Amino acid sequence: MSAKNAGVVSLPGSVPKGVSQASLALADGTVYTGYSFGAQAVSEGEVIFNTSMMGYQEIVTDPSYAGQIVTMTYTQIGNVGVNGADAESAGPMLSGFVVKEWLDEPSSWRADSPLGGYLREAGIPGLAGIDTRSLVRRIRDSGAQVGVISTDPDFQDPAELVARAKVAPGLDGTDWVARVTCAEPYDWNERIWPGVDGQVPVVGGPTERRKLVAYDFGIKRNILRLLVEQGFDVTVVPATTSAEEALSYEPDAIFLSNGPGDPAAVAGVQENVRTLSTQKPLFGICLGHQILGLALGGETRKLKFGHHGGNQPGQDLATGRVAICAENHGYAVDADSLERAGEPVDVTHVNLNDGTVEGLAHRERPIFSVQYHPEASPGPHDAAYLFGRFREMVDRHVAGEQITGAAISRAPSN
C-alpha cells in the first residue's frame, strides 16, 4: 500500500512481557507498534534515519537532532551504555529515539549508566521492537515526514496518533537554533580525550595562541576540542550575538557551528555573518556552512530524506580525492543560486551520492565551509585535516598574506 493511500496501517512489532507498548505514527497514516524504553512521554518531530553503526550516545546528544525522531538502522543499540566523556552536549537533544533491539544491560567498562535510564532522565521517549527496515524504506522512498512517538500507555490509539501527526509542525520555517544555543558567552579550553593513562596519542598542535569566536548554533563538544588542539583560545557565543559584539572580543577568526533545522529560519544570523565574512577569516561546518551560503546570497533547499550517518562520500573537486564523511543535515545549499548571486564563491566539494554541495570557498576572502562533520563524532576521520587547514589560513591572514578560502582549499590534505 502506498504512502499516499495508506490510511491507518498498523505495523506491529514485538512487545515483551513486563514492558509497556509504544507506538510511532507517521503523517502518511502508518503506525509502528513496539515497546517502550526511556521516558513515558508523547513527542512530535521529523522522522529520519541514521546509518551509523556506532556512536549512538553522540547522536542522541547532538543538538543538530533537535526537533527530530531518530531511527537507527543498526540493529542493537544500548550495548555499551552511556558515559560522561562521549556526550556532545549537556544531554539528549532529539525528540525521540527508535531502534530495532534495545539492550539495557551495558557491557562496557566505560559505561556510567544504561541508555534507557539516560533517556528517561532527559524526558526523551524511546521505541524498540519494530521493523526498522520497513520504516527506513518508507522514509527513503517517500521522504522524511512528521511523526508522533508515544510511550504513554493511555495514548496508543492508532487513529488518534495519526491525527496528531497530520497536524504536527515540521522543521521548515522554525528556528530550532534558538532552542539549543547557549544563553551566555563562555570560554572553552578542554582538549581531546587522552584515553586511559594517556593511551590515545595526542599530536601537539601550534604553540602560538589565536583568539577565536565560535557561534553556537548547536555546537558539538568535539568540534570545540579540535579547535583547542589547533591552538585556538575559544569563546563560544550565542547565535543572536551581533557582529559588533563578536568583533569586540578582538578575535583572529570566526567559526560557525553545526545546528538543527531550517537554516533560512534562523533569525538575524545571515546579516551578522555577512558582516563578519568581510572582516575576519571564517570557517563553517554543517548548518554554519548553510548559513554562510545564505549570507553570500545563495539559497537552501530541503533534501528528500537528508544525509545522516558516517558513510557519506564527499569528493574534493580540486584533487579528486574522496573522503568518507560523517553527516547530519536535511537541507543543502543550492549551487545554482550561488552562481546567480554573483558572489565569487567556488563549490569545493560535492556528495557523490546525489551531487549536493559539500563545500564552499571564497575566491577573494579567507572564508571556507563544509557540509559534513570533520570532527567525526561519531564517524571516520578522513576530513579531520580541515581544522589544521583553518589554522593555517588564520596564521597566514594574521601574517598579512592575502590568503583566500579558495587558495587554502586547494592545498594538499596531508
Choose among 216, 225, 217, 215: nearest CA to 253.
215
- Band (pLDDT 50/70/90 cuts) for residue 2 is very low
CA distance 212 to 233: 6
Element holding 167 (H helix, E strand):
helix 158-167
Q: What is the CA radius of gyration of the chain?
A: 21
Q: What is the DSSP string of 66-78?
A: TTEEEEESSSEES
* Per-residue pLDDT, 414: 55
Distance CA 260, CA 306 (A): 12
Yes or no: say if 286 and 307 are a contact pair by the CB < 8 Å rule. no
Active site residue 190: no
Please say if the pLDDT value at position 382 is more than 90: no
Longest dimension (CA), the chain: 69
Catalytic residue among 44, 286, 349, 397: 286
Distance CA 232, CA 251 (A): 10
How do beta strands 253-256 and 282-285 pair?
parallel
Confidence class for position 201, pLDDT limits 50, 70, 90: low
Confidence band (pLDDT; 50, 70, 90) for 198?
Answer: low
The CATH class for the domain spanning 9-167 reads alpha beta
pTM for the whole structure: 0.94
Are the C-beta atoms of 406 and 361 separated by less than 8 Å?
yes
Q: Which of 206, 217, 199, 293 is nearest to 255 (CA)?
A: 217
**Range scoring the smallest mean pLDDT among 42-46, 173-177, 270-274, 316-320:** 316-320
pLDDT value of residue 413: 62
Candidates 23, 64, 67, 68; CA nearest to 42 is 23
Q: Quick one: which of 376, 377, 398 has its CA closest to 385?
A: 376
* Residue 315: its H or E element: strand 300-316
- Given a cut of 80, is residue 18 above it in pLDDT? no
| Marked catalytic residue, from 289, 307, 373, 397 | 373
Indicate if 349 belongs to the active site.
no
CB 307 within 8 A of CB 328: yes
**Would you say 263 and 294 are in contact if contact means Cβ atoms under 8 Å apart?**
yes
CATH number, domain 177-409: 3.40.50.880
Average pLDDT value for residue range 363-385: 90
How much is the average pLDDT of 7-14?
A: 71
What DSSP element (H or E) covers 137?
Answer: helix 132-142
Q: Which strand ranges, in their side-by-side order, compose the sheet holding 345-351? A: 186-188, 232-238, 210-216, 253-256, 282-285, 367-370, 357-362, 345-351, 300-316, 322-333
317-321, long-range: CB < 8 A, 24+ apart:
317/347, 317/348, 317/349, 317/350, 318/348, 318/409, 318/410, 319/412, 319/413, 321/413
Consecutive H or E run containing 336: helix 335-341
Same fold, 9-167 and 177-409: no
Please write down the long-range contacts of 336-341, taking CB distance under 8 Å and 24 or more positions apart: 337/297, 337/298, 337/299, 338/293, 338/296, 338/297, 338/298, 340/297, 341/296, 341/297, 341/298
Q: What is the pLDDT of residues 43-96, one digit of tens each?
A: 999 999 999 999 999 999 999 999 999 999 999 999 999 999 999 999 999 999
Active site annotation includes 286 = yes
| pLDDT-based confidence at residue 206 (cuts at 50, 70, 90) | confident
- Most confident option among 13-22, 59-68, 320-329: 59-68
- The pLDDT of 176-192, averaged and rounded, is 95
Whether the Cβ atoms of residue 348 and residue 318 lie closer than 8 Å to each other: yes
Measured CA to CA, the distance from residue 169 to residue 189 in angstroms comes to 38
Q: Domain locations in the chain?
A: 9-167, 177-409
Q: For the residues 34-41, what does the mean pLDDT come to?
A: 95
Span 247-273, mean pLDDT?
97
Look at residue 1 and tell me whether its pLDDT is greater than 50.
Answer: no
At residue 12, does pLDDT exceed 90? no
- In angstroms, the CA 288 to CA 218 distance is 10
Residues in the chain, how many?
414
Residue 102 pLDDT > 60: yes
pLDDT at 3: 42
C-alpha cell at 154: 493511555
Mean pLDDT of 120-139: 96
* Neighbouring residues of 67: CB distance < 8 A, sequence distance ≥ 6: 45, 46, 95, 171, 174, 176, 179, 260, 261
β-pair partners for 30? 9
The residue-averaged pLDDT of 280-306 equals 97
Determine the pLDDT at residue 11.
74
Q: How many angstroms separate the CA atoms of 383 and 326, rounded?
A: 9
